[in-house]
Amino acid sequence: MTTRATVSVFFAGWLLCAATLSSCGCAREVRIRPDAAGEPVGSREPVRMVFTIEADPAHAAAARAYAERFRAFGLRADVSVRDRSRIIARARAGVADAWVVGWAGPHPAPLGMAVAKLTTGGAENFTGYANPETDLLLAGLLTRWKPEEKERLARVLQEMLLEELPWVRGAVLPLYDASTPDVTGWVPGPMGGVSLHDARVSGGEGRVTVLLGLARLPPLDPFAPPDPQAGVILRCLFDALVTVGPDGTLLPELAESWEYSPTARELVVKLREGVLFHNGKPLQARDVVFTYTKALEGRVPPGVRVDVFERGEREVVFKFSVPFPGFLELHGLQPVVPAAHYEEVGPERFARAPVGTGPFRFAPGGGGGREVLVRWEGYYGGCPEMPPTGPPGLREVVFRCVPEPERRVEMLLESPGTLAPALGPGEARALEEAGTAVVLSEPGWHAVFLELNCRRPPFDDLRVRLALNLLAVPSGELPGDLAAPGSEGVPLPGALLPGGFGYLGDEIVLPVDPGWGLALLEEAGYLVGGE
């Protein structure tokens, strides 16, 4: 049943936002901190708000839809299309105003993307958002055993995000992978991570060309925030402790087995024998310890401690300060790197010529928007529960950058031996209508929303952030390509994902109320309406 939230706001020391759910007759209050409200009314002459929304090519349409909506109310919102890695660097440095790059993950886990993006100092928290109460709630989600307790904490967290508003509402939508009919055996993966281990191409030379929706190839850093457009490259190069099976369950990959203690405060992972890195060195427990020590920085809530150590060459022990029964669901897909080699060459050189345990290895000599991987003859075979095992069937995988969505569709329809990962709903529909491509949906999730730099004007003022949410497209009427018929987008009012604990859907959301939003902007000292 769809419920409707009615909200009123006033500033009198506290900004009180009371959300009344008509379906249940109850009211939830969202209290906005007075220190986040910005300058008092009348402290300066009104000015026109000017800001730039940065987007990577895959999310340019969504960014333009946001900007058009805001320009309709007199805000000067421009769009700049850049490489994803550059946007993230600018956001991390605090110099970007706002950005849409999309975030992806393998499971609608209870914590989803919330830990890395919302905790103080989180690895992917580029907005500057910080709230000790949020940190405590996220830590509590890891410590609770009973589903009803986790549900309650997650709901409180999502309701509290209406108060904090570090971004503008968006949506979770499906991603699709597609190929020409002569490419068979590939398996769609979360975060664009198509598995090509079992892929074959008929009538060719064992070569497949993968079209990436990027302007240029990013550094292949296995510790960077996941980019769905580059996920297939990392999936070819690296294996992880576990993989995701066809039904969404976790299956052993580099791990032969694992076992939690009765209290879920300890996890023991036994590694598979006979696994070699691309440099010929055997996989050992030290490599997993090094990988996870680095990867978990900023990806667990403050106050939650994870210690990783080796027990012999083939056993890794994870010790948690709190019960953590969902650790592998959240972190088990982390690519494992060779510790000694990574330390020797450093992160920058490693990202230019990565070494993993995956079915394909890096081949020097790429460039010009083109990268080549070749079959790793020493591959151990992959997950034994997902046959066939052994070296991959393809001899070579060529990656090409094609940032224009329409051009990717054209090339997929015109060029045999071609595959394209992480397609949006519009691209997938065009291919399905043409009827000459194989189109499969990815597991996992892909969240699209407008993040705001809360560390400087204009978005350090909570009134402005609230106003943009009031002016933005309603939940259920999604920006750009997400709004097209059949896109199957699901509203994302907060940071918890559909299917996870505490997801409220449209049970409690801010209304779309331009009058209220414009009043807040005027109160914050900004001109609204026509120029």
pLDDT tens digits, 41-54: 445 789 999 999 99
Answer yes or no: do 192 and 110 share one domain. no
Average pLDDT estimate for 151-161: 82
CA distance 447 to 170: 7
Average pLDDT estimate for 343-362: 96
Identify the H or E element spanning 456. Answer: none
Answer yes or no: do 110 and 212 share one domain. no
pLDDT, residue 475, reads 44
Cα 484 from chain centroid?
A: 22
State the Cα angle at 429 between 57 and 65, rounded to 5°.
40
Answer yes or no: do 255 and 216 share one domain. no
Q: Is 491 helix (H, G, I), strand (E, B) or coil?
A: strand
State the Cα angle at 337 between 185 and 143, rounded to 5°.
95
CA distance 463 to 16: 12
CA distance 506 to 5: 9
Q: Is 59 helix (H, G, I), strand (E, B) or coil?
A: helix
In a domain? residue 215: yes
Confidence of residue 494 (pLDDT cuts 50, 70, 90): low
Among 396, 420, 441, which residue terminates a domain?
Answer: 441
User: Quick check: 477 pLDDT over 60?
Assistant: no
For residue 243, list its beta bridge partners.
251
Q: How many other C-beta atoms are found inside a 10 Å radius of the C-beta of residue 473? A: 21
Among 401, 424, 441, which residue terminates a domain?
Answer: 441
pLDDT, residue 443, reads 82
User: Quick check: 33 pLDDT over 50?
Assistant: no
Q: What is the CA radius of gyration of the chain?
A: 24
In a domain? residue 425: yes
Q: DSSP string of 101-169? A: --EEESS--SSTTHHHHHSTT-TT--S----HHHHHHHHHHHH--SHHHHHHHHHHHHHHHHHH--EEE
Answer yes or no: do 102 and 161 share one domain. yes
User: Quick check: 34 pLDDT over 60?
Assistant: no
Confidence of residue 523 (pLDDT cuts 50, 70, 90): very high
pLDDT, residue 162, reads 78
pLDDT, residue 342, reads 98
Q: What are phi and psi of 36, to 5 degrees?
A: -100, 0
Which of 438-452 are b and which e, b meaning 16 or more Cβ less than 10 Å from the residue's Cβ? bbeebbbbbbbbbbb
In a domain? residue 437: yes
Torsional sign, CA 100, 103, 109, 113? negative
Answer yes or no: do 212 and 287 share one domain. no
In a domain? residue 250: yes
Average pLDDT estimate for 119-123: 89
CA distance 318 to 173: 33
Establish how many alpha carbons lie within 13 A of residue 467's alpha carbon, considering only the half-sphere containing its beta carbon. 28
User: Quick check: 6 pLDDT over 60?
Assistant: no
Query: 192 or 347: which carries more pLDDT confidence?
Result: 347
pLDDT, residue 5, reads 29
Answer yes or no: do 210 and 278 share one domain. no
User: Which pTM was predicted?
Assistant: 0.83
User: Quick check: 311 pLDDT over 60?
Assistant: yes
Nearest to 499 by CA among 250, 59, 154: 154
* DSSP tag of 276: B
Average pLDDT, the chain: 84
Residue 278 one-letter amino acid: H
In a domain? residue 494: yes
410 Cβ neighbours under 8 A, 6+ residues apart? none
pLDDT, residue 500, reads 65
Identify the H or E element spanning 45. Answer: none
Answer yes or no: do 115 and 146 share one domain. yes
Q: Is 24 helix (H, G, I), strand (E, B) or coil?
A: coil
Q: What is the CATH number of the domain that holds 146?
A: 3.10.105
40 Cβ neighbours under 8 A, 6+ residues apart? none
Long-range pairs for 370-375: beta carbons < 8 A, 24 or more residues apart: 370/217, 370/398, 370/399, 370/400, 370/401, 371/217, 371/233, 371/398, 371/399, 372/396, 372/397, 372/398, 372/399, 373/233, 373/236, 373/237, 373/397, 373/399
pLDDT, residue 509, reads 67
Query: 245 or 504: which carries more pLDDT confidence?
Result: 245
User: Quick check: 320 pLDDT over 50?
Assistant: yes
pLDDT, residue 212, reads 93
The top-scoring range by mean pLDDT among 142-156, 433-447, 480-494 is 433-447
Answer yes or no: do 299 and 396 share one domain. no
Q: Is 236 helix (H, G, I), strand (E, B) or coil?
A: helix
407 Cβ neighbours under 8 A, 6+ residues apart? none
Structurally, the chain folds into a number of domains equal to 3
Confidence of residue 4 (pLDDT cuts 50, 70, 90): very low
The answer to whether 302 and 131 have CB atoms below 8 angstroms apart is no
Query: 529 or 522: which carries more pLDDT confidence?
Result: 522
pLDDT, residue 221, reads 92
Confidence of residue 111 (pLDDT cuts 50, 70, 90): low
In a domain? residue 311: yes
Q: Which residue segment(s) compose the domain that 325 sits in?
A: 239-357
Answer yes or no: do 207 and 256 share one domain. no
Nearest to 416 by CA among 215, 197, 207: 207
The answer to whether 137 and 463 have CB atoms below 8 angstroms apart is no
Answer yes or no: do 433 and 459 share one domain. no
Report pLDDT digits (tens) over 175-223: 899 999 999 999 998 888 899 999 999 976 799 999 999 888 888 999 9
Give the least confident one: 81-90, 293-302, 363-372, 520-529.
Answer: 363-372
User: Quick check: 88 pLDDT over 80?
Assistant: yes
337 Cβ neighbours under 8 A, 6+ residues apart? 222, 238, 287, 290, 291, 350, 354, 355, 356
Query: 187 or 483: which carries more pLDDT confidence?
Result: 187
In a domain? residue 306: yes
Nearest to 88 by CA among 344, 356, 453: 453
pLDDT, residue 138, reads 86
User: Quick check: 3 pLDDT over 60?
Assistant: no
The top-scoring range by mean pLDDT among 140-149, 255-264, 471-480 is 255-264
Residues written for the chain? 531
Confidence of residue 499 (pLDDT cuts 50, 70, 90): low
Answer yes or no: do 90 and 167 share one domain. yes
Average pLDDT estimate for 493-518: 74
pLDDT, residue 333, reads 92
pLDDT, residue 154, reads 81
CA distance 452 to 454: 6
The answer to whether 419 and 178 have CB atoms below 8 angstroms apart is yes
User: Quick check: 408 pLDDT over 60?
Assistant: yes
Quickly count helices (H) and strands (E) in the chain: 13, 28
Answer yes or no: do 59 and 162 share one domain. yes
In a domain? residue 206: yes
